[in-house]
C-alpha cells in the first residue's frame, strides 16, 4: 500500500460535479455545492456587487419554511455544501434557524458575509447551529478606502472585530478581497492583514465585469501593469505562506488571452438560488435578458436542473458558433462566459470577447486600457434605487 | 506570523478539526472530506487512516494497527501515513489533539 493519496483539492462550487444518478436527457450530476442568495438586502453598497441591477425586494423573498424545504431537497438530491450568501445573509432574521436546519439535514454550511451586522452572540449562535466556515469580505486594508468602496462608515473596523470573534469561536476564516484599480496597491497589506487575522484562506478576486461592476467599469478597471504586479505578489505569497495561508486567485479576464471556463461550463457544475427562489446557472445569469428562469416554487430543483431550458440552452458545445464551434479549446473553456458574451456583444452564444480569437478582443483590450488610464474614480453605488452616484 | 502549520511525526496525535468532516456521500457512494468551500475525495486507505485519527491515538499507534492488519512493512507504511497526513495538514484540514484526550 504505497499509494495513499487524497485527490487534488477541488473548489466545491467550481469543479468536480460528481456523476450522480443518470438523468433523462443528459448526465449532468447535481453539483457538490450550491450558492444560496437568501436576500438582496445589504447595508453595504459596493459598486461591483454581483447581484443583478434589478434587486429583489424583501417581500419577494422565500419564507423560512420555503428555505427549509429547499435545504432538505438539496441534501436529498446529493448536494453536500451550501453557501449562505446575499445581499447580506445576516439581514435575514431567521439565519440561525436556517443554518440549524441545514446542519440537521447533513449539509456543510459556509457563511459569506460583509460581517457588519453581526454581534458576537449571533455569531456564537451560528457556530452552535453547526456553521462550519465564515468568509468575510474586505474592501481594503485601511478604513479610508475600504469604507468608501463599501459606502458604509465604520465598516472596516467592524469587519476586523468580527474576524477576530470568528477565530475565537474556532471557526475557520476566509478573507475575501475584491480587487480593482483603486485598491490594488493595498494587496501586500491585505495579505499581511489576512495572516494577522489568522485566516486560513484568502481569496484575491479581481472584479468581474457584469451588472453593477460593468456600470462601474471605468472606475474599477486596473492597468495592465497593476495586474502583472498583482500576479507576482500573489505567486510570491503563495510560496512563502504554504501551510499557513491558502491564497486563491481570480484574474481579470479582460487582459487574458484565453477566456475563463466560466462556472466550469454552463449548467455543468453550479447553480444558485435567488432570494425569491429562482434557480440560476450563475449569479449573473439574469443579465442575459429575454431568458426565463424557473423558481423552486414551480418545480423540484432536480427537475429544474435536469430539464429547464435555461440550463440546457448552453450546455455542452452544440449551441456554439464560430470561432468556438471548430476551436480546439471548445471543451476546455466552453467559449468563456455567457454573461460577458451577452454584455459585450449582445449575443450570449457569441465567443466571450475575453478570448483572443474573438473578433472583438482587440477592441475590448483597448477599452480596458483606456478606461484604466483615463476613467473617473467616481462610483455608482449599488442600491434598490438603481444606484446612486458618489458625491451626488 | 501565524505558525499554525502542523508538523506530522510518529508522536503526533492527529484529529480532524471541526471544519473538516469525513462523510460518506450516499448519492455518489464514496467517502468525502468536507472542508471550507472544498470537497476532497480520499481513497480507501486514506479513509481508513482518518477513521483512526480520534485524537487519542498517535501516528505510531495508527501505523501499528495498519501494519498488523495488512501484514506489511512498518517502515514503508509509516512513511506513507505521515506523508498523507502532512498533505492534509498543509491544506489546513488536520489538527493536533491538545494535551488532554477525551
pLDDT tens-digit readout, B2-55: 446 788 999 999 999 888 999 999 999 999 999 988 899 999 989 999 999 999
**3-class DSSP state of A22:** coil
User: In whole angstroms, what separates CA A179 from the centre of its chain?
Assistant: 13
Whether pLDDT at B101 is above 50: no
Could B27 and A78 be called an inter-chain contact, meaning their C-beta atoms sit closer than 8 Å?
yes
Q: Is B99 on the interface with A (CB under 8 A)?
A: no
pLDDT in single tens digits along all 392 residues of chain A: 333 444 544 444 433 333 333 333 345 899 999 999 999 999 999 999 999 998 999 999 999 999 999 999 999 999 999 999 999 999 999 999 999 999 999 999 999 999 999 999 999 999 999 999 999 999 999 999 999 999 999 999 999 999 999 999 999 999 999 999 999 999 999 999 999 999 999 999 999 998 899 999 999 999 999 999 999 999 999 999 987 899 999 888 888 888 988 888 999 999 999 999 999 999 889 888 778 899 999 999 999 999 999 999 999 999 999 999 999 999 999 999 999 999 999 999 999 999 999 999 999 889 999 999 999 999 999 999 999 999 87
> What are the boundaries of each domain within chain B?
14-95
Q: Is A111 on the interface with B (CB under 8 A)?
A: no
Second CATH level (architecture) for the domain B14-95 = Orthogonal Bundle (1.10)
Per-residue pLDDT band for B91 (boundaries 50, 70, 90) equals: confident
Residue of B94, B96, B72 lying closest to B85 (CA atoms) = B94
Closest approach of chain B CAs to the CA of A167, in angstroms? 12
Residue A283 pLDDT: 87
Residues of chain B with Cβ-Cβ distance to A6 below 8 Å are: 33, 40-43, 46, 84, 87-88
Q: Is B94 on the interface with A (CB under 8 A)?
A: no
Q: If contacts are CB pairs under 8 Å, which of residues 21-60 in chain B contact chain A? A: 21, 23, 25-28, 30, 32-43, 45-46, 49
Q: Is residue B30 a contact partner of residue B46, using CB atoms and an 8 Å limit?
A: no
- Within 8 A by CB and 6+ apart from A156, the residues are A138, A139, A140, A142, A143, A146, A147, A150
Could A4 and B43 be called an inter-chain contact, meaning their C-beta atoms sit closer than 8 Å?
yes
Residues of chain B with Cβ-Cβ distance to A133 below 8 Å are: 19, 36-37
Could A110 and B37 be called an inter-chain contact, meaning their C-beta atoms sit closer than 8 Å?
yes
Could B39 and A243 be called an inter-chain contact, meaning their C-beta atoms sit closer than 8 Å?
no
**3-class DSSP state of A123:** helix
Q: What is the pTM of this model?
A: 0.90
Could A30 and B37 be called an inter-chain contact, meaning their C-beta atoms sit closer than 8 Å?
no
Residue A29: closest C-alpha in chain B: B28
A–B CB contacts, 8 A cutoff, strictly below: 124
Q: Is B102 on the interface with A (CB under 8 A)?
A: no
Residue A199: closest C-alpha in chain B: B2
* ipTM > 0.90 (yes/no): no
Q: Is residue A162 a contact partner of residue A115, using CB atoms and an 8 Å limit?
A: yes
Whether pLDDT at B72 is above 90: no
Q: If contacts are CB pairs under 8 Å, which of residues 310-349 in chain A contact chain B? A: none
Q: Is B74 on the interface with A (CB under 8 A)?
A: no
User: In whole angstroms, what separates CA A47 from the centre of its chain?
Assistant: 15
Burial of A72 (0-12, 13-18, 19+ CB in 10 A): middle
Could A78 and B19 be called an inter-chain contact, meaning their C-beta atoms sit closer than 8 Å?
no
Q: If contacts are CB pairs under 8 Å, which of residues 14-33 in chain A contact chain B? A: 16, 18-21, 29-30, 32-33
SS3 of A262-318 = HHHCCCCCCCEECCCCEEECCCCHHHCCCCCCCECCCCCHHHHHHHCHHHHCCCCCC
Whole-angstrom distance, CA of residue A207 vs CA of residue A223: 13
Residue A19: closest C-alpha in chain B: B28
Q: Is A205 on the interface with B (CB under 8 A)?
A: no
Amino acid at each position: 500500500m504505497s499509494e495513499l493519496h487524497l485527490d487534488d483539492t477541488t473548489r466545491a462550487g467550481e469543479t468536480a460535479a460528481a456523476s450522480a444518478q443518470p438523468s433523462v436527457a443528459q448526465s449532468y450530476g447535481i453539483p457538490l455545492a450550491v450558492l444560496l442568495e437568501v436576500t438582496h438586502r445589504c447595508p453595504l453598497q459596493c459598486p461591483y456587487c454581483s447581484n443583478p441591477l434589478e434587486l429583489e425586494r424583501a417581500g419577494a423573498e422565500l419564507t423560512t419554511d420555503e428555505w427549509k424545504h429547499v435545504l432538505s431537497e438539496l441534501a436529498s438530491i446529493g448536494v453536500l455544501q451550501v453557501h449562505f450568501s446575499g445581499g447580506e445573509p445576516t439581514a435575514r432574521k431567521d439565519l440561525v434557524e436556517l443554518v440549524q436546519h441545514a446542519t440537521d439535514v447533513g449539509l456543510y454550511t459556509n457563511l459569506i458575509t460583509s460581517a457588519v451586522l453581526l454581534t458576537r452572540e449571533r455569531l456564537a449562535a451560528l457556530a452552535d447551529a453547526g456553521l462550519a466556515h465564515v468568509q468575510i469580505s474586505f474592501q481594503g486594508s485601511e478604513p479610508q478606502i475600504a469604507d468608501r468602496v463599501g459606502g458604509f462608515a465604520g465598516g472596516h473596523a467592524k469587519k476586523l472585530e468580527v474576524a477576530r470573534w470568528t477565530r475565537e469561536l474556532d471557526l475557520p476564516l476566509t478573507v475575501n478581497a475584491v480587487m480593482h484599480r483603486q485598491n490594488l496597491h493595498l494587496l501586500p497589506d491585505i495579505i499581511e492583514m489576512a495572516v494577522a487575522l489568522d485566516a486560513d484562506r484568502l481569496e484575491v478576486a479581481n472584479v468581474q465585469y457584469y451588472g453593477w461592476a460593468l456600470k462601474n467599469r471605468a472606475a474599477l478597471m486596473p492597468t495592465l501593469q497593476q495586474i502583472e504586479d498583482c500576479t507576482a505578489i500573489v505567486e510570491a505569497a503563495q510560496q512563502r505562506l504554504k501551510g499557513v495561508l491558502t491564497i486563491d486567485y481570480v484574474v481579470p479576464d479582460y487582459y487574458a488571452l484565453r477566456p475563463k471556463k466560466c462556472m466550469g461550463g454552463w449548467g455543468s457544475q453550479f447553480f444558485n438560488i435567488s432570494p425569491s427562489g429562482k434557480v440560476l446557472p450563475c449569479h449573473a445569469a439574469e443579465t442575459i435578458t429575454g431568458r426565463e428562469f424557473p423558481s423552486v416554487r414551480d418545480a423540484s430543483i432536480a427537475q429544474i436542473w435536469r430539464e429547464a431550458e435555461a440550463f440546457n440552452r448552453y450546455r455542452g458545445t452544440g449551441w456554439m458558433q464560430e470561432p468556438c464551434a471548430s476551436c480546439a479549446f471548445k471543451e476546455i473553456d466552453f467559449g468563456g462566459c455567457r454573461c460577458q458574451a451577452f454584455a459585450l456583444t449582445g449575443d450570449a452564444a457569441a465567443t466571450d470577447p475575453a478570448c483572443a480569437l474573438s473578433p472583438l478582443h482587440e477592441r475590448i483590450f483597448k477599452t480596458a486600457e483606456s478606461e484604466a488610464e483615463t476613467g473617473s474614480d467616481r462610483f455608482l453605488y449599488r442600491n434598490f434605487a438603481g444606484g446612486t452616484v458618489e458625491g451626488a | 506570523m501565524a505558525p499554525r502549520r502542523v508538523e506530522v511525526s510518529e508522536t503526533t496525535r492527529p484529529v480532524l478539526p471541526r471544519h473538516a468532516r469525513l462523510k460518506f456521500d450516499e448519492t455518489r457512494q464514496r467517502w468525502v472530506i468536507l472542508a471550507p468551500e472544498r470537497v476532497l475525495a480520499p481513497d480507501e486507505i486514506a479513509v481508513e487512516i482518518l477513521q483512526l485519527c480520534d485524537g487519542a491515538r498517535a501516528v505510531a499507534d495508527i501505523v501499528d494497527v495498519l501494519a498488523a492488519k495488512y501484514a506489511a512493512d512498518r517502515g514503508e507504511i509509516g512513511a506513507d501515513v505521515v506523508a498523507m497526513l502532512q498533505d492534509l495538514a498543509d491544506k489546513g484540514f488536520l489538527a493536533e489533539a491538545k494535551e488532554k484526550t477525551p
